[in-house]
């Protein structure tokens, strides 16, 4: 009898496994397809209104695809691309879309769709491990990919970071150390500060923790080659944006990262802030309940990975608040993404079997529709029809279309000569294909900032920065015959080329003037 009972139990388990596996695979394909579709739609909506920093990344990608050159402008080698993996992927897709007449913007759309699909696939694998239906990862995709702060920074590494974090979460829940290490290495190449999520999730996931050396080795194999090449070839293992952004500190009047959502963004775009932050605040509540559930062993063991993800988001926010960096909108995306995913999947875990009830499924659909409507409310009225002219959260001095027009004219006016930037460089450099000069493009201009950052660093960070820049060799600054300068509308000197700008939700109209550098 015991043998028969054991055989029957095993057979029943096999039947259940065989019945669940096809559904889980089909659910993964559904989530992947939805993620790809949502990524493509969002990319198309944003294609005409990409922010200035996105064009820095696109310029790097195009130069790499065109000639293997690593730099913002065609001639100067620089290391101000925060996300080397994002640049590499965009360069690859730029080459792939050329046969159909596409460029970096189309490549961005295709890459975003691919990353959305991969994120959807991994979220579904997490949902299966947590005993959740396919609706939960789909809702998570909606909440994250329609977050106003994320869509307003599209083209930067925001979607790539989201995808890497979902990979870490999926590997952590499954206890797959090698996959975790690979996702960790990719995350570090996407943004070096993803290390906060890597460390916390590695400690929170028992399966990864037991085989931590394997995960570390996989991470090293993926990430270290680039950092070594960057240190040897570009003169710094880490991107130069670390120096630029940490020295900038704030947008003035105490508007730092810690207070930026309320002091900088909320007065101008309050609806966008509410829509972006509300799911994250729910996620913090869910995180607290999950911690209690894990400690009392009242939730699934895999829920510990969600706890790690939520704590990683909290840690990320704390680290950036401690650094005192400016409140750039994309800096808020990683913690908002992490907490939003915890809000959705964590709510499903806490509901347990009730998560499969028809009423709950109806609530999921309603929440998804609400997220879509909320994004529509966030988009400025002047941005309709789609594609929008600028995104919901926008703070550049000129609209993307104005900068593209100015850049095209600038390329004709200055030719092969160098011209100094006037605060924003990305769209102008991308559109003019000329040598626009500032700390992002010219290492010689950046060098005084590097020396200052090393001098102001403490006894621990200082020697590390000195080692990081040990191979940096910068020549004397080359002459810059022209300069771009902002002035009030109608006050440009007679006879000098100038362009009027309207900006968007943030800035007052202005006039950009091209003048001799010594004029």
Q: What burial class does residue 195 get, using C-beta atoms within 10 Å of its C-beta: 0-12 exposed, 13-18 middle, 19+ buried?
A: middle
Task: List, for residues 260-316, the tens digit of each pLDDT value.
Answer: 999 999 998 888 899 899 999 999 999 999 999 888 887 777 889 999 999 999 999
Domain count, the chain: 2
Task: List, for residues 41-72, the tens digit of each pLDDT value.
Answer: 999 999 999 999 999 999 999 999 999 999 99
Name which residue leads in pLDDT, 361 or 467.
467
Does 261 lie in the same domain as 379? yes
Furthest C-alpha separation in the chain: 101
Burial 31-53 (b: 16+ CB within 10 A, else e): bbebbbebbbbbbebbbbbbbbb
Does 132 lie in the same domain as 270? yes
Is pLDDT of 13 > 50? Answer: no
pLDDT at 410: 96
Task: List, for residues 367-424, the tens digit of each pLDDT value.
Answer: 666 766 666 666 654 456 788 888 989 989 999 999 999 999 999 999 999 999 998 9
Does 256 lie in the same domain as 163? yes
Q: What residues have CB less than 8 Å from 486, skipping those under 6 apart?
A: 397, 422, 423, 510, 511, 512, 513
Task: List, for residues 138-155, the tens digit of each pLDDT value.
Answer: 989 999 999 999 999 999
3 — pLDDT class (breaks 50, 70, 90): very low
Q: What is the pTM of this model?
A: 0.91
Does 350 lie in the same domain as 260? yes
Residue 363: inside a domain: yes
pLDDT at 81: 95
Nearest to 32 by CA among 163, 143, 187: 163
pLDDT at 8: 38
> What are residue 49's phi and psi, to 5 degrees?
-120, 30
Average pLDDT, the chain: 88
With the CA atoms of 68, 74, 75 and 77 taken in that order, what torsion angle do they form, in degrees rounded to the nearest 10? -60
Residue 302: inside a domain: yes
Out of 15-29, 225-239, 370-384, 423-437, least confident range:
15-29
pLDDT at 379: 61
Residue 70: inside a domain: no
Residue 463: inside a domain: yes
Does 419 lie in the same domain as 311? no
Residue 287: inside a domain: yes
Does 273 lie in the same domain as 231? yes
**Distance between CA atoms of 291 and 294, rounded to whole angstroms?**
5
Does 331 lie in the same domain as 200? yes
pLDDT at 382: 42
Using the 3D structure, point to which of 322, 353, 383 is the last residue of a domain: 383
Does 224 lie in the same domain as 103? yes
Domain extent at residue 512: 400-516
Using the 3D structure, point to which of 326, 356, 383 is the last residue of a domain: 383
pLDDT at 19: 40
Strand, coil or helix: 359: helix
Is pLDDT of 252 > 80? Answer: no
Residue 66: inside a domain: no
Does 272 lie in the same domain as 219? yes
> What are residue 132's phi and psi, to 5 degrees?
-105, 155
How far is Cα of residue 418 from the mean position of the Cα atoms in its chain? 31
Does 209 lie in the same domain as 314? yes
Residue 162: inside a domain: yes
Residue 95: inside a domain: yes
Helix (H) or strand (E) holding 182: helix 177-190
Does 331 lie in the same domain as 414? no
pLDDT at 2: 39
Is pLDDT of 326 > 80? Answer: yes
Does 357 lie in the same domain as 414? no
Is pLDDT of 22 > 60? Answer: no
Out of 21-25, 177-181, 223-227, 361-365, least confident range:
21-25
- Residue count of the chain, please give it: 519
Using the 3D structure, point to which of 324, 350, 383 is the last residue of a domain: 383
Structure tokens at 442: 């010219």
């Amino acid at each position: 009898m015991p043998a028969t009972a054991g055989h029957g139990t095993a057979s029943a388990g096999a039947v259940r496994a065989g019945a669940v596996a096809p559904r889980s695979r089909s659910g993964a394909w559904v989530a992947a397809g939805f993620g790809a579709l949502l990524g493509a739609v969002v990319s198309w909506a944003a294609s005409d209104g990409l922010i200035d920093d996105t064009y820095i990344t696109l310029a790097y990608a195009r130069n790499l695809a065109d000639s293997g050159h690593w730099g913002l402008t065609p001639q100067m080698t620089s290391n101000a691309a925060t996300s080397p993996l994002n640049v590499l992927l965009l360069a690859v897709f730029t080459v792939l879309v050329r046969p159909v007449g596409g460029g970096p913007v189309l490549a961005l759309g295709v890459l975003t769709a691919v990353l959305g699909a991969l994120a959807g696939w991994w979220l579904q694998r997490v949902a299966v491990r947590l005993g959740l239906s396919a609706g939960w990862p789909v809702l998570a995709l909606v909440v994250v990919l329609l977050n106003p702060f994320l869509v307003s920074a599209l083209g930067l590494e925001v979607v790539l970071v989201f995808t890497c974090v979902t990979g870490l979460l999926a590997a952590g829940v499954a206890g797959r150390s090698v996959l975790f290490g690979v996702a960790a290495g990719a995350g570090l190449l996407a943004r070096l500060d993803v290390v906060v999520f890597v460390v916390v999730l590695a400690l929170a996931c028992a399966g990864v923790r037991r085989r931590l050396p394997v995960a570390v080795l996989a991470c090293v194999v993926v990430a270290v080659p680039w950092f070594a090449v960057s240190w040897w070839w570009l003169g710094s293992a880490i991107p130069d944006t670390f120096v630029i952004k940490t020295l900038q500190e704030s947008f003035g009047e105490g508007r730092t990262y810690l207070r930026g959502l309320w002091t900088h963004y909320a007065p101008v775009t309050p609806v966008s802030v509410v829509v972006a932050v509300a799911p994250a605040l729910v996620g913090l509540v869910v995180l607290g309940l999950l911690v209690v559930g894990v400690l009392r062993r009242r939730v699934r063991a895999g829920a510990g990975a969600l706890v790690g993800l939520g704590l990683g988001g909290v840690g990320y926010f704390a680290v950036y608040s401690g650094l005192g960096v400016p409140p750039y909108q994309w800096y808020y995306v990683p913690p908002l993404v992490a907490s939003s995913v915890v809000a959705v999947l964590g709510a499903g875990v806490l509901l347990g079997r009730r998560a499969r009830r028809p009423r709950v499924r109806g609530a999921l659909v309603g929440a998804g529709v609400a997220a879509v409507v909320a994004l529509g409310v966030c988009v400025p009225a002047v941005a309709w029809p789609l594609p929008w002219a600028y995104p919901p959260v926008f703070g550049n001095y000129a609209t993307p279309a104005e900068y593209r027009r100015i850049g095209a004219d600038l390329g004709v006016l200055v030719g092969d000569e160098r011209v100094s930037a006037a605060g924003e460089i990305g769209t102008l450099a991308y559109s003019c294909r000329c040598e626009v000069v500032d700390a992002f493009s010219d290492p010689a201009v950046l060098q005084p900032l590097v020396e200052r950052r090393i001098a102001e660093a403490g006894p621990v960070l200082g020697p590390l920065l000195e080692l990081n820049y040990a191979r940096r060799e910068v020549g004397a600054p080359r002459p810059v015959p022209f300069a771009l300068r902002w002035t009030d509308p109608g006050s440009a000197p007679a006879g000098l080329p100038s362009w009027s700008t309207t900006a968007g939700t943030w800035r007052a109209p202005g006039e950009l003037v091209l003048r001799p550098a010594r004029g």
